[in-house]
C-alpha cells in the first residue's frame, strides 16, 4: 500500500523583512529593504499510511504549522516532493481540498452569526455532498458529538467546548480521508478533552480516517497516536512509536514530598542530602518535588535520604512521563543521536 | 432540548446539494441580516451627504438652467441615484475580507474547494441584497417623496441602466477585492479602505459628474474602470448615451471587467505565495 501522505526532501524557505526597531528602523526599511531567508522546513521526509494516527510535535516555531500548510496546499514548497491521497496539494489545491479537512483549535470555520446547522449545510454544498450522504453523515455526527441542541444556536453563542465539537463535526461533513488537527484541545476542560479524543479515535476506527495531530498536550498524543514524529528547527528529529520515547529516554524520575512544616531550608537540606547526584528541586506549597536521574541513584535511596533529612509526611514516586522527555527535548536538553531515529526514517 | 427538536433541523430543507456559490451568497445574506440595524444606520448616515449635495446644487442652479449639459432635474436625480448605487457594495465586502486575511482565518478559504474570487463575488452579492435593499428604500422613499428624482428617460434607458449597473457592481467588487488583497502585504487595511473609498467616489462620478471635472481628470476618469460603477449607469438612466455611445460604454465596462477578473485571479495566486509564517 502506498502511503496516503508522503513527502520527500520537503523544504520551505521564507523571505522575511529585516526591520530595525522603532520608527527609524521602519523608515530605513522603506528606503533600503533588507530581507533574510528563514528556512522553516528543511528536508522533511514523511510517510503516513491510510488509517494511521500520527502526532506531529515540536517546540513553537519548529516548522509544524508550515508542514501542515504544505500538506494542505496553502503553501508552495521551495523544494522537494509532497503528495496527499495521490494529489500534489499546491498544484491541485481544490482536488486536495476535497480529500482533507483541517481543524484549528484557535480558529473556527463556522460562520459566526448564523445557526450552526446553516454552516453545516453550506459546507455540504461547498463540497457537493449528495443529499443522502449528507443526511447520513449528519445523523451520525449529531449522534456521536451530541450536536442536536447546538444546531440552532449561532456559533458566537457557543462555549469553547461546544464550538470545538461543532468544528470537528463541520470538518467531517464531506467525509475527508485525511484529517489535520492543529492543537484541537487547546483551552478545553478535561472532560471535553476526553470526549473529543474519544470521538476522533472512534472516527478513525470506523471510517479509516487518517489523522495528523499537532498538539502540545501529550495526553492527546498518548491517547490518539501510537506514532510520533518530532520536528525541531525544520528537521525531523524523531519518528517512531510514542511508547518508545518513554522507554528509551525515561531515566528522569520524580519524587513528590509532602512536609510537616515547609521550612524555608527544606530545599537546601534536600539538596545537601542528595548533593552527589545533583537533583532538580522545586518548592511547592506543601513541600518539594525532587527530580533525579535514575541511572545515578535508585528511587529507594532517594526516598531514604529524604526521609532522614526532612520531616516527611508523604512521599509519592512519579512515573517518568513522556511529557518530561518531550519538554526536555523542547528545551534542547536532550538530543537524539542519529542512531535514535525511528524505524521509518 | 428534546430529541424531536434535535432531529428536525437535520432533516429539513435540502433536497439536493445546492450550487456552492449560490449557497455562499445565501449564507452571507443571513449573516448580513444579523447586522441589519448597523447597516440601516450606515446607509442612513451616508444619505446625509445626499441632502448636503442636493442643497449645494440647488444653490448653484438658482442662477442658471443648465450646468455641463445637465438640467436641475437631471442633476438632482444624478445626486440621489449616484449615492444609491454607491451604497450597493458597502464597507463590509472589503472589511470582511481584510479581517479574514489579517486574523489568518483566510486559511479556511484556502483549504476548501473554492475559487477565491468567485467566493468573494458570492459574498458581496449576499451583502448587497441587504445593504442594497436598505439603500434602495432610502433612495426611493426620500428621493421620490422629497427630492423629486425623475424616472429613467425611457424604457431602453432603464434596461441599459440595469445592465450597466450589474457590470458596475461586479467591477466594484473586483476593485474592492484587489484593494483588500493588499492586506496580505500590509497586514493592515483601514487606511487602504479609506483611500480607496475617496478615490472611488471621485473617479466613479459619485460626488461630481465626470463632465464637471477639469480636462485632465476627466480624461483619467473616463479611461479608468471606476466610471463604470456609477457614472455609466447614470448616463443611461438620464438618457444621455444611446446608439453607438451606449455600445462603447458597455464595451468599455465589459473589457475592464474581464481585465479585472484576470488580474484579480493572478493577484490572488501571487498573494498565496506571500502567505506569512503567522503562527509558526
Instruction: List the pLDDT tens digit at each of the 345 positions of chain A.
Output: 688 999 998 998 887 777 677 777 777 777 777 778 888 888 899 999 998 899 998 887 788 888 888 898 888 888 899 999 988 988 888 889 999 999 988 888 898 888 999 999 999 999 988 888 999 999 988 988 888 899 999 988 999 889 998 999 999 999 999 999 988 888 888 888 888 888 888 888 888 899 999 887 778 888 888 898 988 888 888 888 887 776 666 667 788 888 887 566 888 888 888 888 888 888 888 888 888 877 788 888 888 888 888 888 888 887 666 666 777 667 766 555 433 443 333
A2: closest CA of chain B, how far (Å)? 24
Comparing CA positions, the residue from B167, B196, B202 lying closest to residue B179 is B196
Identify the helix (H) or strand (E) that includes residue A293: strand A287-293
pTM, to two decimals: 0.77
User: Measured in whole angstroms, how far is the alpha carbon of residue B232 from the centre of its chain?
Assistant: 14
Q: Which residues of B touch A (CB under 8 A)?
A: 1, 3, 5-7, 9-11, 13-20, 22-24, 27, 30-31, 34-35, 103-105, 107-108, 110-115, 272-273, 275-277, 279-280
Chain B contact for A70 (CB, 8 A cutoff): no
- Scan for cell 512509536, then name that residue: A241
Nearest chain A residue to B2, by CA: A149
Chain B contact for A330 (CB, 8 A cutoff): no
Chain B contact for A128 (CB, 8 A cutoff): yes
Residue B104, all three cell numbers: 489568518
Nearest chain B residue to A66, by CA: B280
d(CA A136, CA A133): 5
Q: Classify domain A5-246 at the CATH superfamily level.
A: P-loop containing nucleotide triphosphate hydrolases (3.40.50.300)
**Domain residue extents for chain A:** 5-246, 251-319
Residue A74, all three cell numbers: 496553502
Residue A153, all three cell numbers: 444556536
Chain B contact for A334 (CB, 8 A cutoff): no
Question: Do residues A82 and A212 touch, judged by C-beta distance below 8 A?
Answer: no
Residues of A in contact with B113 (CB under 8 A): 94-95, 97-98, 126-127
* Model pLDDT, residue A250: 65
User: What is the DSSP annotation of B110-135?
Assistant: HTSS--HHHHHHHHHHHHHHHHHHHH
Residues of B in contact with A121 (CB under 8 A): 13-14, 23
* Model pLDDT, residue A178: 93
CATH number of A251-319: 3.30.70.100
State percent of chain B over pLDDT 90. 12
Question: Do residues B73 and B150 touch, judged by C-beta distance below 8 A?
Answer: yes
B199: closest CA of chain A, how far (Å)? 24
Nearest chain A residue to B116, by CA: A94
Q: Angle between the B155-181 and B116-145 helix axes, to the nearest 10 degrees?
A: 130
For residue B4, pLDDT beyond 70: no
Q: Flag whether the ipTM exceeds 0.85.
A: no
Amino acid at each position: 500500500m502506498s502511503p496516503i501522505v508522503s513527502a520527500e526532501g520537503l523544504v520551505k524557505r521564507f523571505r522575511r523583512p529585516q526591520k530595525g526597531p522603532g520608527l527609524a528602523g521602519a523608515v530605513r526599511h522603506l528606503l533600503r529593504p533588507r530581507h533574510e531567508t528563514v528556512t522553516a522546513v528543511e528536508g522533511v521526509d514523511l510517510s503516513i499510511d491510510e488509517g494511521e494516527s500520527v502526532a506531529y510535535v515540536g517546540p513553537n516555531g519548529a516548522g509544524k504549522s508550515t508542514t501542515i500548510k504544505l500538506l494542505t496546499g496553502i503553501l508552495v514548497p521551495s523544494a522537494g516532493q509532497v503528495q496527499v491521497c495521490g494529489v500534489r496539494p499546491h498544484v491541485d489545491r481544490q482536488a486536495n481540498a476535497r480529500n482533507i479537512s483541517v481543524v484549528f483549535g484557535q480558529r473556527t470555520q463556522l460562520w459566526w452569526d448564523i445557526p450552526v446547522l446553516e454552516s453545516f449545510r453550506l459546507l455540504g454544498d461547498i463540497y457537493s455532498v449528495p443529499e443522502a450522504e449528507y443526511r447520513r453523515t449528519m445523523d451520525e455526527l449529531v449522534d456521536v458529538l451530541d450536536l442536536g441542541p447546538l444546531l440552532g444556536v449561532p456559533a458566537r453563542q457557543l462555549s469553547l467546548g461546544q464550538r470545538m465539537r461543532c468544528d470537528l463535526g463541520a470538518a467531517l461533513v464531506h467525509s475527508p480521508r485525511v484529517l489535520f488537527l492543529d492543537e484541537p484541545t487547546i483551552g478545553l476542560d478535561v472532560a471535553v478533552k476526553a470526549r473529543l479524543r474519544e470521538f476522533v479515535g472512534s472516527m478513525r476506527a470506523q471510517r479509516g480516517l487518517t489523522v495528523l495531530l499537532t498538539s502540545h498536550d501529550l495526553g492527546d498524543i498518548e491517547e490518539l497516536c501510537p506514532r510520533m514524529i518530532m520536528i525541531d528547527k525544520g528537521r525531523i528529529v524523531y519518528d517512531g512509536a510514542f511508547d518508545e520515547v518513554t522507554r528509551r529516554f525515561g531515566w528522569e524520575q520524580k519524587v513528590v514530598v509532602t512536609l510537616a512544616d515547609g521550612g524555608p531550608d527544606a530545599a537546601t537540606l534536600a539538596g545537601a542530602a542528595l548533593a552527589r547526584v545533583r537533583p532538580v528541586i522545586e518548592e511547592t506549597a506543601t513541600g518539594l518535588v525532587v527530580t533525579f536521574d535514575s541511572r545515578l541513584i535508585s528511587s529507594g535511596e532517594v526516598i531514604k535520604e529524604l526521609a532522614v533529612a526532612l520531616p516527611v509526611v508523604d512521599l509519592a514516586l512519579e512515573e517518568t512521563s513522556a511529557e518530561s522527555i518531550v519538554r526536555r527535548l523542547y528545551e534542547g536538553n536532550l538530543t537524539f543521536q542519529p542512531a535514535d531515529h525511528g524505524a521509518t526514517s | 432540548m428534546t430529541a424531536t427538536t434535535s432531529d428536525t433541523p437535520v432533516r429539513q430543507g435540502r433536497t439536493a446539494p445546492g450550487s456552492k456559490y449560490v449557497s455562499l451568497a445565501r449564507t452571507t445574506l443571513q449573516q448580513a441580516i444579523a447586522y441589519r440595524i448597523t447597516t440601516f444606520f450606515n446607509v442612513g448616515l451616508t444619505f446625509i451627504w445626499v441632502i448636503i449635495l442636493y442643497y449645494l446644487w440647488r444653490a448653484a442652479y438658482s442662477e442658471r438652467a443648465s450646468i455641463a449639459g445637465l438640467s436641475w432635474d437631471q442633476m438632482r436625480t444624478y445626486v440621489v441615484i449616484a449615492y444609491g448605487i454607491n451604497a450597493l457594495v458597502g464597507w463590509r465586502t472589503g472589511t470582511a475580507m481584510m479581517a479574514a486575511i489579517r486574523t489568518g482565518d483566510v486559511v479556511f478559504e484556502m483549504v476548501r474547494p473554492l475559487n477565491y474570487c468567485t467566493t468573494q463575488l458570492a459574498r458581496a452579492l449576499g451583502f448587497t441584497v441587504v445593504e442594497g435593499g436598505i439603500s434602495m428604500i432610502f433612495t426611493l422613499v426620500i428621493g421620490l417623496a422629497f427630492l423629486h428624482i425623475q424616472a429613467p428617460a425611457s424604457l431602453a434607458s432603464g434596461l441599459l441602466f440595469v445592465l450597466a449597473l450589474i457590470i458596475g457592481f461586479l467591477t466594484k467588487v473586483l476593485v474592492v477585492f484587489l484593494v483588500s488583497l493588499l492586506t496580505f502585504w500590509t497586514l493592515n487595511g483601514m487606511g487602504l479602505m479609506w483611500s480607496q473609498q475617496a478615490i472611488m467616489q471621485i473617479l466613479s462620478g459619485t460626488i461630481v459628474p465626470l463632465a464637471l471635472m477639469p480636462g485632465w481628470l476627466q480624461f483619467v476618469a473616463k479611461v479608468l474602470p471606476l466610471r463604470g460603477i456609477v457614472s455609466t449607469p447614470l448616463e443611461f438612466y438620464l438618457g444621455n448615451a444611446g446608439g453607438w455611445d451606449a455600445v462603447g460604454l458597455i464595451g468599455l465596462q465589459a473589457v475592464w471587467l474581464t481585465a479585472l477578473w484576470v488580474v484579480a485571479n493572478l493577484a490572488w495566486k501571487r498573494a498565496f505565495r506571500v502567505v506569512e509564517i503567522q503562527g509558526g
